[in-house]
Amino acid sequence: MSAELISSRPVMDAAAMRRAIERIAHEILERNDGLNDVVLIGIRTRGAPLAERIASVAERVEGSAPPVGYLDISFYRDDLRGSLAQPVVQRTEILFDIAGKIVVLVDDVLFTGRTIRAALDALTDLGRPRAIQLAVLVDRGHRELPIRADYVGKNLPTARAEQVVVQLSERDGADGVVVGRLAAGKKSKPQPALEFGPNNE
């Protein structure tokens, strides 16, 4: 994935990422006074493994893990007719009721805020949570909507044309965050290949 970027620089290594996730988990526990009614929902694709990691840290600290769900926001995007690459729609898997819960949305990069806007709409169609909080690994600025994160792994000043690529060992083989520019002709970051079969994700 980073091979697609030119003049890229690493901004977070595996150890830094681990520490950031630990801190986010502790902040969630502190702010919500434990895990009572807290559920984690990872936004596909890379918010999903991040939510699992936060949950496993919380389990180590509190002795029990919060429920984890996965949200695909494709049907709520505002750029269906735009020129950007569309990722393959994945399944939303939230096997618990979110009504009355404190939902912590988890995503890898907070940029324009449009993904989060779509996720808020998607959650509203699933139920009425008591509160929604937002945890992101990287906040790179350039917001286009009035949205901010409650928990941030790293604030990363970037140029608008730059790309921030989060790599997670679950999907990409190794942990790390790199910033760079796309090689000419590439309009957006490559999307995961279509996975085919009713049960694989």
Residue 130 backbone phi and psi in degrees, to 5: -70, -40
Decide: is 63 part of the binding site for other proteins (CB under 8 A): no
Give the full edge-to-edge strand order of the sheet including 176-182.
5-12, 176-182, 163-167
Span from 29-37, 60-68, 83-91, 147-155 in contact with other proteins (CB under 8 A) = 83-91
* Comparison of 114 and 154: residue with beta carbon closer to other proteins: 114
Decide: is 188 part of the binding site for other proteins (CB under 8 A): yes
Decide: is 190 part of the binding site for other proteins (CB under 8 A): yes
Residue 157 backbone phi and psi in degrees, to 5: -70, 130
Cβ–Cβ < 8 Å for 73, 89 = no
CB of 43 to other proteins, least distance (A): 13
DSSP output for 7-54: EEEEEE-HHHHHHHHHHHHHHHHHHTTSSTTEEEEEETTTHHHHHHHH
Considering only 32, 90, 150, 180, the residue that binds other proteins (CB under 8 A) is: 90
x-or-dash string of contact with other proteins, 118-157, rule CB under 8 A: ---x---xxx----------------x-------------
Positions that interact with other proteins (CB under 8 A): 72, 74-77, 79-92, 111-112, 114-115, 121, 125-127, 144, 186, 188, 190-199
